[in-house]
Structure 1
Amino acid sequence: MDESRRLVTSVKPVRTSKAVAPVGTDRPLDSYLPESGNRGYRVSRYELDLAYKVVANRLDGRATVIATTTDVRAKYSLDLAQTMRVAKVALNGKRPAKFAHRNGKLTVAPAEKIPAGAILTFTIQYSGTPSPLQTMWGEVGWEELEEGSLVASQPNGAPTWFPCDDHPGSKATYRITVTTDAPFTAVANGTLLHKTSRSSRTTWVYEQPEPMATYLATVQVGHYETRKVAVTPVPQYAVHPPRLRAQFDKDFARQPQMLELFTRLFGPYPFAHYTALVTDDDLEIPIEAQGLSTFGANFCDGKGREERLVAHELAHQWFGNSLTLHRWRDIWLHEGFACYAEWLWSENSGGPSAQELSADAYRGLAGKPQDIVLGDPGPRDMFDDRIYKRGALTLHALRLRLGDDRFFTLLRTWTTENRHSNVTTEQFTDLATRFTDTSLRALWDGWLWDAALPPSPRI
């Protein structure tokens, strides 16, 4: 995501224990979002069968959530917004002793105790009128457009459309089936396995085999055409309203070169393909999801003025989607890296160098309040523009300290060793010590843990 919280301008608004752990006494998984996520199990797969009526904004769903228990519990819970009404629940194919849906939690009590290490399969039928959550970062989750819908869930909007363990450390594979009105197109994460049409409805089936965090799961519905626009280094697709075809071809013309550059600098692209989708509505900022990025029509005017955003969202496929933070305090590992990727693209495509852009960013930060700690900014400020720019400056300072050869080898090692997993700031700083014989403590203390800006990084 780029720089500030998204606002859609045209929406309608594992340790095993034999002890039984009671629900409601668990400590939060993440202090930034203490109500999100659940203990007692680890999800390995989601299978979502969704039917969406565009005009009525009506969603009917059947979710199968496959997990492994980590301890014995009297109850298990999933995150699900109250806008969804739960009709039926099964646990391992049986009716549970009882279930309840309150305050954004679907709590299920098994009829018999389930041992630690056992398979736990929830099957949930639900329906409702999906709408985004109102949060301190703006609206997040399923949003209704003028004709269609989009999903942008960072950081806690996934429960607006499916029951889940909504924490970035809970990554799983997905199959997403969407049935919607013809002639609308439905796009979701992963590879389209097949689509079938019957009467006035079309069903689309997508498979996402690489583990994915819940907030990166998405469904986009609109009047779109789909085209393959490049084949190397991986297939690249354009999805957009037909009226924006010419503008897309101009604004995204250099995306294949970006992907080639980032593959060289960051390592192999982590997924089977990449899709850039443009809605027919205006959006305040672009939105990343696993394997695809979403841009508003206002970013596709044929003038090429937003190329840095194309680079930013593409870079998130490495930094954010393949390598996903384990806790939200480490958001700079997503946004600082994606912002620095903008500078690297500029430097390698005839624009200002990373050094020039870093100097501009530093001057901008110096004129703003210096009251954010990059390594732990607090939930309210985790999408502040200062996180993006200061994160990029941190990487530039590290690059100057290590030199290009060691710096880019570090980045490629980082993405290779942690491919499709969760990461922390401590893991990155520990890895960096392998690429220098001198201490980096002063660099990390100054850029990550002090609120005041260190001196500007200079060649």
Structure 2
Amino acid sequence: MGLSKPTAGAARSDDPYLPTHGNGGYRVEHYELDIDYKLAANRLTGRAVLTAVAGAPLSRFSLDLSAFRVPRVLVDGEPAKFSHRGGKLRVTPARPVEGRFTVEVRYVGNPTPVSSRWGDVGWDELTDGALVASQPVGAPSWFPCNDHPSDKATYRIAVTTAAPYTVAATGVLTARRRSAGTRTWVYELAAPTASYLVSVQIGRYDEVVLAAGPVPQVALLPARLRKNAARDLGRHPAIMTTLEGFFGPYPFADYQIVVTDDELDVPIEAQGMSIFGANHVDGRRTHERLVVHELAHQWFGNSLTIADWRHIWLNEGFATYAEWLWSEASGGRGVTAHARQWHAHLVAKPADLVLADPGPARMFDERVYKRGALALHALRGRIGDDRFFALLRDWAARYRHATVTTAQFVQLAGRHADEDLTAFFTAWLHRPALPGIAVEGD
């Protein structure tokens, strides 16, 4: 038998919503990111080493990377030919790669967010610092990657910046060293993570310990917001315990909350981290539901990551339902009252969205969030509390740190229900008309 002829990896993914993000022919196992960031100049100098595995011999492959200057690319330690345009770094190694291989990319420039139909996402400047908000396509704004949610990898992230600033990144802080006016922060992220969930936050932040354990929980925030945060985040350990009761053990080593000194339109989700604006911390718990929502994403979105963006209701519907569960558990409005309110709201909306496939323009439509939560509440009413919560815990445990699809959830729900739920899920997930829901009592 002759040797198989090397092929070129596709410079696109098979995601029907975002085919230009992600690349074919390989998977990344690990990223080593070393970043030097000059705040005043918004200047990023980076070195990324990717350890990847090719499914078949590759003569060429590509990475997602925004408009940086790339002086050098090495593949398995040898210089490689490359071109960089249109957000793609196309690499031709000196010899075809097969099995496990490494790619080293040196890059430098002024990071800017990626423009998308959902606004500008990725690395962005703050008034006095920087943040990363990558969902869904912003990761290439600051490092070369295979930018698709299904390609989850481990990370080591080292960021060097001016010494007065705190750097928070996804993962566990393993080292911190100071030299000549700068400080380097090193984070290790051992759990497999999608590129859009990797984050760096830079600012003049105080650290507030919310809980020392069993899950360490800290908040990083401007000193001026400490008093407001003491109230707004004061129940966070109780929220963590409550969600663990519903969903099973928290899936990561620790949890960080970052509050920027700037206002943000919406909170930002990252693995083991959530980011809020100063406007979300008002000292009156006005936005506590958002705190719950972002924490719930650690189970649904981060540990269980959707295989492609069609399945986004598995992130947002579950996180919204968590808001309702906490509301009831903390003595607020009951879950059924929330369901009644939102069912009445959605039934007045156009019946033109299919929950299991909303389309790229509607990935973040309010109806994906609220109808997703209503579908879960309807399922709970159909199969009963014991089976419903056993299903949620099994779902979170069975696919821990993996990727998931709507079909997998439907199949697992059928096992727990011990009945045929085809008609139920067809109505809720695959038909635009909003089904009725039993909402008697609270």
TM-score range for the pair, normalised by the shorter chain length: over 0.9
Please give the alpha-carbon distance, in whole angstroms, between the structure 2 residues aligned to 1:23 and 1:39. 5
2:5 is aligned with 1:22: no
Aligned residue for 2:266? 285
Question: What per-residue deviation string (whole Å, max 9, x for no partner) do you get for residues 435-454 of structure 1?
Answer: 12321112111110011101
Structure 1 residue aligned with 2:153, among 167, 172, 181? 172
Question: What per-residue deviation string (whole Å, max 9, x for no partner) do you get for residues 185-234 of structure 1?
Answer: 11101111111111211100000000000000000001101122212331
SS, match of residue 18 in structure 1: coil
2:59 is aligned with 1:74: yes
Contact 2:12 2:20 in 1 (8 A): no
SS, match of residue 74 in structure 1: strand
Structure with larger RCO (C-alpha < 8 A, sep 6+): 1
Aligned residue for 1:112? 95
2:283 is aligned with 1:302: yes
Structure 1 residue aligned with 2:70, among 86, 93, 104? 86
Give the C-alpha shift of residue 245 in structure 1: 0.6
Higher deviation after alignment, 158-167 or 230-239: 230-239
Aligned residue for 2:358? 377
Task: Name the amino acid aligned to 2:348.
Answer: G
Contact 1:36 1:166 in 2 (8 A): yes
Task: Name the amino acid aligned to 1:108.
Answer: V
Cα distance change, pair 248–291 in 1 and its aligned pair in 2 (3 A):
same
Q: Equivalent residues in 2 for 1:350-365 (5 A)?
A: 350-365=331-346
Contact 2:316 2:368 in 1 (8 A): yes
Aligned residue for 1:258? 239
Q: Percent identity?
A: 53
Please give the alpha-carbon distance, in whole angstroms, between the structure 2 residues aligned to 1:18 and 1:296. 53
Please give the alpha-carbon distance, in whole angstroms, between the structure 2 residues aligned to 1:19 and 1:319. 41
Cα distance change, pair 429–19 in 1 and its aligned pair in 2 (3 A):
farther
Please give the alpha-carbon distance, in whole angstroms, between the structure 2 residues aligned to 1:378 and 1:239. 36
Q: Where do 5+ consecutive residues of structure 1 fail to align?
A: 1-16
Please give the alpha-carbon distance, in whole angstroms, between the structure 1 residues aligned to 2:309 and 2:285. 32
Question: What per-residue deviation string (whole Å, max 9, x for no partner) do you get for residues 30-60 of structure 1?
Answer: 0100101111111000000000011111100
Task: Name the amino acid aligned to 1:445.
Answer: T
Contact 2:45 2:107 in 1 (8 A): yes
Task: Name the amino acid aligned to 1:335.
Answer: E
Task: Name the amino acid aligned to 2:137.
Answer: N
In the superposition, the TM-score normalised over structure 1's length comes to 0.94
Cα distance change, pair 177–351 in 1 and its aligned pair in 2 (3 A):
same
Task: Name the amino acid aligned to 1:22.
Answer: A
Please give the alpha-carbon distance, in whole angstroms, between the structure 1 residues aligned to 2:173 and 2:350. 47
Aligned residue for 2:383? 402
Contact 1:53 1:59 in 2 (8 A): yes
Aligned residue for 1:58? 43
Structure 1 residue aligned with 2:27, among 29, 42, 46? 42
Task: Name the amino acid aligned to 1:42.
Answer: R
Q: Equivalent residues in 2 for 1:119-138 (5 A)?
A: 119-138=100-119
Contact 1:233 1:260 in 2 (8 A): no
Contact 1:19 1:71 in 2 (8 A): no
Structure 1 residue aligned with 2:132, among 137, 144, 151? 151
Structure 1 residue aligned with 2:189, among 191, 208, 213? 208
Aligned residue for 2:394? 413
SS, match of residue 416 in structure 1: helix
Please give the alpha-carbon distance, in whole angstroms, between the structure 1 residues aligned to 2:178 and 2:417. 58
Please give the alpha-carbon distance, in whole angstroms, between the structure 1 residues aligned to 2:66 and 2:198. 16
Q: What is the root-mean-square deviation of aligned Cα atoms in Å? A: 1.2
Contact 1:233 1:259 in 2 (8 A): no
Aligned residue for 1:102? 85
Q: How many residues align?
A: 438
Q: Where do 5+ consecutive residues of structure 2 fail to align?
A: none
Give the C-alpha shift of residue 301 in structure 1: 1.2
